[in-house]
Amino acid sequence: MSFSSLGLSAPLLRGIFERNYLEATPIQAAAIPAILRGGDVWASAQTGSGKTAAFALPLLQRLAGAHRERGRFVRALVLVPTRELAAQIGDAFRDYGRYLPEPALKTLVVYGGVSINPQMMALGGGADILVATPGRLLDLIAHNAVSLAAVATLVLDEADRLFALGFADELARILALLPAQRQTLFFSATFPPAVWSFAESLLRDPTRIEMPAAAADTPDIVQRAIEVDAPQRTQLLRNLIEFHAWSRVLVFVATKYATEHVAEKLRRAGIEAVALHGELSQGARTTALADFKASRVRVLVATDVAARGLDIAQLPVVVNYDLPRSPVDYPHRIGRTGRAGESGTAVSFISAETDAHFRLIEKRNRLDVTREQIAGFEPCETAPSLPATTGGVKGKRKSKKDRVREAAGGVATQPASGPVAPAEPVDYFPLTPRIPTQRRTGR
C-alpha cells in the first residue's frame, strides 16, 4: 500500500520519499489510519517491520500546527527501554518531520548516563515530542524540569523490554502523572503475559493489530548453530571472521565483563573490536555504536542493550557467542541483520551445557536449525548428567536449606560436579510485573 493513500500530508510524504520509503509495510498500513483517528492502538509485529514510522508519522501529522501550552509541558511522550533506541527514534521524528511548516515541532530526547543540566535547559518552554527512558524522565520530573499534565499521546515502544529490564515501578509512577484522557499506543514485537495483562488494564477499546510474519516478509537470514566447547568460542569466532572475511560482526554476550574480555582478545588478534554495555558512559556508548555503523571497527561485542530496535544498515552477521537468556530475545538479536530487504547470517555457538537451552529457543520460535561442527573445533565436552533428585539442580556449594537439613539429621542432595543447564529452561518473564527494589536509571 502506498503512503499517499494513508491520509498523510504532503510535507510528511516528502520526508518519507527522501528516505526511499515507497510502500508502507503491513504494520504501517494498519496503524497509521488508526492513530490518525485518535484511538488507542495495541500493535504487535516482528522486528524490522517498521514500527517506528507506524507511530511517528501519524503523531507528527496530529501535532503539526496544533497549539502547545506555554511552560514545561509535553504533548506526546514516547517511553523506550534504552538510550540507543531513544536516540534513534528521536532522529526518526526529526527526519520525517523536516518539511513540516513552521513553527517546527520541538522534539527532545532524554536519557541517563549524561549530565541532566543540558536536558533541563532544553526543556525550557516544554516540547511537542519527548522521547525518554523512564529513569531519566522521573529525574527530570523531580527537578521540576517537565510536566506531564498536558500529554495527549503516550507511546510505549518495545513494551515487553520495559518490563524485562525492571521498569515496572517507574512506569507505574509515570502513568500516575499522566492525564486520564489521552491516547495510548503499545508497540512491541512480543507481548508476554505480564505485558499482556498490563496492556489490557491500560488501553481503552484499542485497535488490535497483530502482524504474523508472512513468508514474503520474513527476513532473509541464514541461521547456523555451531557446536563448540565454551573455551574455544573466541578462537572459533576469530576463525569465522577471517575465513568468511566478514566486514562487520555484531557479537552478543551475556555480561558486561564478557564484552570487554572478548573485545580485548579480538584486538590482540589484530581484529578491531569494541565493547558496548549498559555500564559504559553515554559518550563511550555513542562512540562505539557510531564507529561500528561507520565501519571504523569491525566487531561490536555487546550485551542485549543492542538487541532491540537498533537499525544498523547492511549488517551482514550476528553471532550469539552466549545464547540469550530468554527465547523471546533470540529473534530480536538475529533481527539486527537481514533488514530492509538485505540478506544476513546469524550464528549461534552451542556447547554441551547450552544445548538444551537452544532446543528450547528452537521450540519457542518454531525453528529447526541444523547443528554443524567446524574442523579443528569439534567439541569434546559432554553434557553433565542431572542428579537423581527432585530437589533441583545445584552448583558446587550447598544451599542454606541443605546445610539446615544436614544439621537436623536429614539427607541433603549431592551437589553436581559443576553448573548444569536445566533440561527445560524457562522464560524470565514473571506472570505479573516485577517491582524492583531500586529504580533503574541510565538506560
Fold topology of 3-211: Rossmann fold (3.40.50)
* pLDDT computed for residue 438 by the predictor: 41
As a whole number, mean pLDDT of residues 91-112 equals 90
Report in angstroms the alpha-carbon separations of 98 from 28, 58, 313.
20, 14, 22
* pLDDT computed for residue 49 by the predictor: 73
Helix (H), strand (E) at residue 44 = strand 41-45
Q: Does domain 220-372 have CATH number 3.40.50.720?
A: no
> CA torsion 133→139→144→150, rounded to 10°?
30
Instruction: Give the model confidence (pLDDT) of 119-169 as tens digits.
Output: 999 998 899 999 999 999 999 999 999 999 999 999 999 887 787 667 888
> CA torsion 17→22→23→29, rounded to 10°?
0
Rg value, the chain, Cα: 23
If you write DSSP's letter for every residue of 312-328 in order, what string do you get?
A: -TT--EEEESS--SSTT
* pLDDT computed for residue 62 by the predictor: 92
* pLDDT computed for residue 219 by the predictor: 67
Q: Does the pLDDT of residue 390 top 60, yes or no?
A: no
Q: Does the pLDDT of residue 418 top 50, yes or no?
A: no
Quick one: CA dihedral 408, 414, 417, 422, positive or negative?
negative
Instruction: Give the model confidence (pLDDT) of 279-304 as tens digits.
Output: 888 788 889 988 998 899 999 999 98
* pLDDT computed for residue 313 by the predictor: 77
* pLDDT computed for residue 370 by the predictor: 94
Query: Is it true that 3-211 and 220-372 share their CATH fold?
Result: yes
Q: Does the pLDDT of residue 421 top 80, yes or no?
A: no
Q: Which of 190, 180, 184 is nearest to 205 (CA)?
A: 184
Q: Does the pLDDT of residue 83 top 70, yes or no?
A: yes
* pLDDT computed for residue 431 by the predictor: 31
Quick one: CA dihedral 27, 28, 34, 39, positive or negative?
positive
* pLDDT computed for residue 82 by the predictor: 85
Instruction: Give the model confidence (pLDDT) of 249-277 as tens digits.
Output: 999 999 999 999 999 999 999 999 999 99
Q: Does the pLDDT of residue 368 top 50, yes or no?
A: yes
CB atoms < 10 A from the CB of 229, how many? 16
Q: Domain residues of the chain, as ranges?
A: 3-211, 220-372
Q: Does the pLDDT of residue 37 top 90, yes or no?
A: yes
Q: Does the pLDDT of residue 441 top 90, yes or no?
A: no
Indicate whether this model's pTM tops 0.75. no
* pLDDT computed for residue 296 by the predictor: 93
Measured between alpha carbons, how far is 246 from 81 in angstroms, rounded to an integer? Answer: 30
- State the average pLDDT for the chain: 82
